[in-house]
Structure 1
């Protein structure tokens, strides 16, 4: 069977609020270039033939073009204006993908995703319909109840990361649903259709850069990369 074309929708809708900066977090520099460029590079390194769709708030499109010029960033990608929510942004990214394909959705501020994990997620999606990257929690977990809180077994839980990969037809059908409050990621949207979610082992390095503390870790991880 012919291999399906691979797409990655890289969603970068963040502001700088939790980072305590006016610059949107995806544009903050780590190791000399914006975080979003590192993220795009990872997918390009995994597969130079991959079709990259970057989703940004409309107000940030000109800034991104200027940054690409400043940094002479040459990795080809399509840029799409995002929606009012993450759900709307993914939907806008999906609109430019035609035909049968494998589609990964990835957070623009997770620049340390490993190519081996990207590969495993696409392979799971090709075989099972989806492949969602997740890791086991390191900390003890308590469930908040009306009475207070109670310990729950850590082994029964996973922390979900991205990429989350899907066969395009499944993802399109999922995003035709009305948006719901419990749609916190693509897996929850697809699961609402009745699809069984397949987990792929992630990495603790695959951090989502959100707060100033994350930037310290990011610089440390970047300095270790060859």
Structure 2
């Protein structure tokens, strides 16, 4: 079975002075998180969608799902963890508790604030997660990236042709993801930036799936303005 985890635990500090986390801000006529969940909800290959979010926002998230999507057993909202990866693991624990999990089960993890994921990206994550234990959605780096250890002077300039910008979804073998995560030390867990890094730290391969420039993450105020423009002009 294919499962999904829509990660909605962020508080959106970088969005500025807002009264709610960024995933609950309106994009067009619907909250950002609803746009995102809908992309997964209509895919009949996905058995269950788990939405880990802050405990204070569980009821509100459920209310939004009922309002915009309707009553459904396909989506469940749970209390997330203190970090991104803790939230993923809580989703994994929920699935293990409620389903008979084996080596064939996959979990597709996605940012709640990436509402423009395309059908093609989602389908390729489903396809290649059946072949590879870990997949990451990326786009080629278009700008030159500089490396600086002190933030004042350049240490090196890596070859841009070998650099990619990470997006989501990231898709994994559910059982192997949990196994590798539990093998990490507390110090290793603290340095994780995303779930794909769990596999990298354990020497496992991560397959690359082509993302898209419009698969943006809404982080700052100008991102929300851009997202509304994309929605208005129907650029998807």
TM over 0.5: yes
Provide the residue aligned with 1:184 in structure 2: 193
CA distance in 1, matches of 2:129, 2:148: 34
Say yes or no: does 1:87 pair with 2:78.
no
CA distance in 1, matches of 2:157, 2:219: 27
Say yes or no: does 1:130 pair with 2:134.
yes
Say yes or no: does 1:50 pair with 2:50.
no
CA distance in 2, matches of 1:115, 1:141: 30
Q: Shift in Å at residue 16 of structure 1? A: 3.5
Q: Which moved more, 1:176-185 or 1:16-25?
A: 176-185
**RMSD of aligned Cα (Å):** 1.9
CA distance in 1, matches of 2:26, 2:136: 28
Say yes or no: does 1:14 pair with 2:19.
no
Say yes or no: does 1:156 pair with 2:162.
yes
1:217 aligned counterpart, secondary structure: helix
Provide the residue aligned with 2:109 in structure 1: 105
Q: Shift in Å at residue 145 of structure 1? A: 4.2
TM-score by length of 2: 0.87
CA distance in 2, matches of 1:111, 1:139: 24
Structure 1: which 5+ runs fail to align? none
2:117 aligned counterpart, secondary structure: coil
Question: What do residues 176-216 of structure 1 show as CA deviations (whole Å, max 9, x unaligned)?
Answer: 13442321111001222221111111011111111100001
Q: Residue 35 and residue 48 in structure 1: after superposition, are their counterparts in 2 closer, same or farther (change >3 A)? A: farther
Q: Which moved more, 1:77-86 or 1:61-70?
A: 61-70
Q: Shift in Å at residue 70 of structure 1? A: 4.1
2:128 aligned counterpart, secondary structure: helix
Is the Cα–Cα contact under 8 Å of residues 130 and 164 in structure 1 kept in the other structure? yes
Q: Residue 47 and residue 69 in structure 1: after superposition, are their counterparts in 2 closer, same or farther (change >3 A)? A: closer
CA distance in 2, matches of 1:97, 1:70: 25
How many aligned positions are there? 222
Q: Shift in Å at residue 90 of structure 1? A: 0.9
